[in-house]
Structures are given as C-alpha cells and as structure tokens.
A and B are shown apart, each in its own frame.
Chain A
C-alpha cells in the first residue's frame, strides 16, 4: 500500500465526542481509505491522503480538521508513536509486492 500522500490530521467533533459519533466518523474515515491512529477526547487523530482532506472535513460531524505532526521531543512522543503504530498495523493490509519473492512456507 502506498502511503506517500498520507498526512496526519486531528479532528474535533461538533457538540463533543460520543461513542456513536466516534464510530460513525471512524467508519467514514475508513471508507475514504484513511486510518484511525488514535482517539482523543476531542476526536480522532487520523492518517489520510491529502487529496481526500476536503471530503472528510466536509462531513457533518466534523467541527475542525487540522494537520498535525509528531514532535519527537514531546513528553510522551514515544508512547504516542507506539499507540499509533499499533493501531495502524491493525488496519493496513500488507500485500506482497508484485514480482517479489514469495513468502516462505513451512
């Protein structure tokens, strides 16, 4: 999967985040080929292709959507990175490159 054009965004939700809103929004982000990196009290932090930014930003639940980056000098940057990596690994489908060596079989 090519993640070249992907950027990280923080989303806040109209009227505060509830479980239902969070689920709806996450489902929509996944439909737009985005990934949920973590969920905060304000809303989810997602990875999304830049070209689809306006699509998600225009969702009725979205109050604000801004691009963010990971600051390695942050107090809990390492933990945030671990959480995001773990969540991402559950959503990204690893595909063998075409023409690549086949996976070893036992």
Chain B
C-alpha cells in the first residue's frame, strides 16, 4: 500500500459523523436541562407572592394650634393611609425566567500527517589484473567485484486534535411557556380589559 493510500485511510478514519452526532446529542441534552431549569424558575416565580400596595394616600390636615411666646403656631397632621393591597406573584410583578439557546456550534478537526522516504544506495566496483609472462607462455588473470547495497527508510506520523465550540445566548421566553395576563378593571364603566404578557 502506498503512502498516499495510508494518508487517505487516516483521513477517512476520523470519526466525523460520530463527533457530529455526539455534539448534537450533548447540545440537545443541554438544551433540555436548561429549559427544565427555566421552567422550574418560572414555577418559583409564579408561586412566590407578595402584597403589592399600588397607592399610598397622604392626607395633610391642619393640626392643633399651639401658642408659643404669645405667637400662635399652626400644626400640621399628616395621615398616611395605604391603599388596598394587591396580592401579586413575582411573575406578575415583572420578573421572568431567563431562557438560553445554543445558537452556533462548530467542530474543528485538525490533522497533521507527515511521511518521509529516504533511499540510500552504495555502489562499489573493483578490478584487479594479474599478468605473468614466461619464455613460452604468458597468462593473465582479471578479477573484478561489484558491490551494490540499497536501503529504504520509511517514517510516517499522524497527529490529530479536535475542538468543539458552541455558543449559548439568552433568548426571549417561548410564547407558549409564558402565561398571558388578562386584567379586567371593573372600576371603570364599561369594564376595561387589557392583555399583557
């Protein structure tokens, strides 16, 4: 198998579909947990009541007249009378739970693959010639040798890192989760009906 095929196989080995699935599942679980927490907050806000006093009437009236050193000093009496209390929940008063939503998710996979092939060859050639000559004969010997050595070195390394990043942002509460307040004011004629959320 060539090096190109190995690199390709390594790239294919990145479990990208699994990573996407795991991230999506984690986001879904996280979103559910966040929504549940927000609904719990909504419940607490709805059942925490307090007595709201919309109006306090202060009546300023002339008080008893005192005479100090022969000078009459007019006193003032201030009578404070709170109006009718109105039981309100914190939700009605104006506190709402925060809702969060995952708005953006990024999976970043980085791979660094390096391969190196080095080939080393050695070639050696040698020859020796030997000649003898006598009165009636002559001879010659030729010998030679060839050495050839080759070695291939392969090195291959693959490194990978992955980054999962997701953004969480506060969003307005879902319309169906928040109650709509219908106020009927019977103090005016005809009664006035107002809707608010």
Contact = CB atoms under 8 A, between A and B. Distances in A.
Given A66-B41, A75-B92, A40 B97 contact: no
A40 B94 contact: no
Contacts of B88: 75-76
A76 B94 contact: yes
Given A10-B90, A45-B95, A67-B97, A73 B197 contact: yes
Given A10-B41, A10-B90, A75-B88, A69 B48 contact: no
Interface string A41-70: 110010000000000000000001011111
A77 B94 contact: yes
A74 interface: yes
B57 to A, nearest CB: 17
Interface in B45-75: 45, 48-50, 52
B37 interface: yes
Contacts of B37: 66
Given A40-B50, A75-B88, A66 B97 contact: yes
Instruction: Assign chain A's interface to a size class.
Output: 20 to 34
A7 B92 CA distance: 20
A46 to B, nearest CB: 12
A71 interface: yes
B94 A70 contact: yes
A77 B52 CA distance: 12
A59 B93 CA distance: 28
A66 B38 contact: yes
A7 B95 contact: no
Given A64-B40, A76-B88, A41 B97 contact: no
Given A10-B44, A41-B49, A75-B88, A68 B196 contact: no
B90 A40 contact: yes
Contacts of B38: 66-67
Given A42-B44, A64-B44, A10 B95 contact: yes
A42 B93 CA distance: 15
Interface in B168-191: 170, 181
Interface of A: 7-8, 10, 12, 40-42, 45, 64, 66-77, 79-81
Interface of B: 37-38, 40-41, 44-45, 48-50, 52, 88, 90-98, 170, 181, 196-197
10 contacts: A10-B45, A41-B49, A66-B37, A67-B38, A67-B98, A70-B94, A72-B94, A74-B94, A75-B92, A76-B94
Pairs of residues from A and B, 4 with the lowest C-beta to C-beta distance, nearest first:
A74-B94, A66-B41, A77-B94, A67-B98
